[in-house]
Amino acid sequence: MTYSIINTIVVQGDAELSAAHAHGMATGMLCANEQAQSAEWLTELFLHATPVADKDRATLAYLFEETQNLLVSDEFEFDLLLPGDEALLSEQVEALTHWCQGFLLGVGFTHTASEQSREVTEILKDIVEFTKLDTEAEGEEDESDFMEITEYMRSAVLLLRSELNNRGSREKAKGSR
């Protein structure tokens, strides 16, 4: 699924959102709760927005489910939904900041900060810092930094999913005793 298709759908519903923000939110929700459902995400995503057509909702639900599958896959195929290489680097960096904002919102919808590991706290702090990236990026050094951050995010997302879901499982087991 391409960034532009998802972006068109999301912007129709709320011009302040982007595909990157929406995908970040879905990923954050799934990292904090692997049982999250696309309906929950769509409700949060379009809470203050114009309803989208059923066909578009189905496309977004498919994106959510595909993201869910990629997050649990052993193939390390998960990737952030960002504009492709044909977009200006400044647009890609801006989309990355939106993705990170969405991710933090998604985690916040489904996860409380109680008893999270130091590693989780550090990664979340890094993601907060990525929301503040300078979007006036150009040149090879900025492109290299962008690639490095997106690779870090891919790994960080998978680690957070594992940590947050395992902690949730342990807390549920404690509560049932």
Q: Which residue has the higher pLDDT, 28 or 138?
A: 28
Give the whole-angstrom CA distance, residue 32 versus residue 163. 9
> Is 0.95 surpassed by the pTM of this model?
no
Average pLDDT score, the chain: 88
Total count of domains within the chain: 1
Q: What is the DSSP letter of 177?
A: -
What are the pLDDT digits (tens) for 8-40? 999 988 878 899 999 999 999 999 998 999 999
| 55/6 Cα distance (integer angstroms) | 12
Give the model confidence (pLDDT) of 38-47 as tens digits.
Answer: 999 999 888 8
Q: Give the tens place of pLDDT for each residue, 92-104.
A: 999 999 999 999 9
CATH of the domain at 33: 1.20.120.740
Least confident of 79-83, 108-112, 161-165: 108-112
**144 is in which domain, residue-wise?**
3-175
DSSP state of 90: H
- For Cα atoms 48, 49, 51, give the angle at the middle one, nearest 5 degrees: 130
